Amino acid sequence: MQGKNEVNELSPHQSVIQNKIFTIRNVQVMLDRDLAELYGVEIKVLNQSVKRNIARFPDHYCFQLSEDEWVALRSQFVTLNDAQINQRGQHRKYLPYVFTEQGVTMLSAVLRSETAIRTSIRIVDTFVSMRRFMSQNALVFERMNAIELRQYATDTKVDAILNAIEAKDTPPAQGVFYEGQIFDAYTFVSDLIRSSSKRIVLIDNYVDDTTLTLLSKNQHADITIYTQSISKQLALDIAKYNSQYKPITVKELKTVHDRFLMLDDQSCYLIGASLKDLGKKLFGFSKLDKVAFNLAAILPNMIVEQEAQACRS
């Protein structure tokens, strides 16, 4: 009993040893510097003892770290201050050696001291305790890894969605702008207009220079406006606009009540307010799936039918 108590008093606390055990090349190992500290010898003495008895230390007992392994291991010492790091030998002139559980046992025989024997017993007990804990909780760790992987996938998707929203790459499909949200509504429609690369079609019975200012945000797409009537003022505004920017085509279409904004014949927004009145009163908007292409296709026929009716009347 007295011998056991002496071991407990002389040996370092188990948690201290656990903090000095690392997993490298899928095995648990300890650094030569940490072992030298625990055994109470200089690291030079420890390594010289190993070299003099190198036949007792095959690769699965002791091996030297590669440069990449040493760099990766040093990154785990972030909790240490500079003084501690230098004291513990981070800036070494040579790559350190590490010892497995079998190597630690062999060290006690090579160093030939009572302290080395007692320390080795405590270290080996810690190795065994950690291995037992890992074995008993293997299923728990597997589940934790699975949860972490699922959480990572979820976080990745959420980040992508938030980034898209922040970058305004994904406009909302529907919503409401309240009275007074003039700038927000104006920004929303401006972003829709900018997103078009080929063709913009606006159906709006109340068009003025404010509408043209919005459409000027896009100078790449071909723009066509369908409106109930083309007043002299609107014709003048269009002429002035076309003299400075990429020309806009304006056509009369008297058989449509609602307001539509179609982009590249792919997406279509039903907008409750004329573009010139955005944010002045409460209005809603919604994206109509699979409507833009059909509506774009029938617009020319609607114009033809309108002209035919005008001739008949």
Phi-psi category of residue 171: left, alpha or beta, with phi > 0 → left and psi -120 to 50 → alpha: beta
- Starting from the edge strand earliest in sequence, which strands make up the sheet with 62-64, in order? 21-24, 27-31, 97-99, 62-64
Beta bridge partners of 31: 98
Q: Which range, 16-20, 144-148, 180-184, has the best average confidence (pLDDT)?
A: 180-184
**pLDDT value for 233:** 92
Least confident of 197-201, 236-240, 266-270: 266-270
Tally DSSP H helices, then E strands, for the chain.
Answer: 13, 11
Using the Cα atoms of residue 256, residue 262, residue 268 and residue 271 in order, give the sign of their dihedral: negative
**pLDDT value for 141:** 55
Question: What pLDDT, in 10s, does the model give residues 23-67?
Answer: 888 888 889 998 888 888 888 889 898 999 998 999 989 999 999
**What domains can you pick out in the chain, each with its CATH number?**
2-138 (no CATH), 174-308 (3.30.870.10)
**Other C-beta atoms within 10 Å of 238: how many?**
19
**Residues written for the chain:** 313
Phi, psi of 27, rounded to the nearest 5 degrees: -130, 155
Identify the residue with better confidence: 248 or 141: 248
pLDDT beyond 50 at 1: no
